[in-house]
Amino acid sequence: MAATGFRGPRQIWNAFKWSMKGLRAGWEHEASFRLEVCIAIVLVPLGLWVGNGALEKIALILPPILVLSAELLNSAVEAVVDKVSPEFHELAGRAKDMGSAAVFLLLMLTALSWGLILWPRLG
């Protein structure tokens, strides 16, 4: 039987190890990722505590996790761009700027989600 498409325990374990390696690299090499992890460590449990019902809880905890994901992808794009094109190039700069913009938009989503859910409770 061919192993094509089959994800057995070994492949799943390897994928997990590579993911942990990526998280560790993000932590070790990216100050923005470290800061956003610290923010998520506060916001995720707080969102689970203050959210009323499952949908509010998801609306509070999902955006910070998406920020972390986008930051890792942005860092990956930057690493590849720096490897392939160490000298300045307009397209390289554009790729980096667009990755940064994606993180920024998710940070705004986080602020908006928290604001829309908590603002009525404060008034």
Give the active site residues: 71
Is 116 labelled a binding residue? yes
Is 66 labelled a binding residue? no
Q: How many residues does the chain have?
A: 123
Is 28 labelled a binding residue? no
Is 61 labelled a binding residue? no
How many Cβ atoms from other residues are within 10 Å of residue 36's Cβ?
Answer: 24
Is 24 labelled a binding residue? yes
Distance CA 67, CA 61 (A): 11
Q: Are 24 and 18 in contact (CB under 8 A)?
A: no
Is 87 labelled a binding residue? yes
Instruction: Name the packing angle between helices 9-29 and 31-50 (round to 10°).
Output: 110
Binding-site residues for ATP, in ranges, read: 30, 78, 87-89, 96-97
Binding-site residues, in ranges, read: 24-27, 30, 71, 78, 87-89, 96-97, 100, 114-119
Binding-site residues for substrate, in ranges, read: 24-27, 71, 100, 114-119
Binding-site residues for a divalent metal cation, in ranges, read: 30, 78
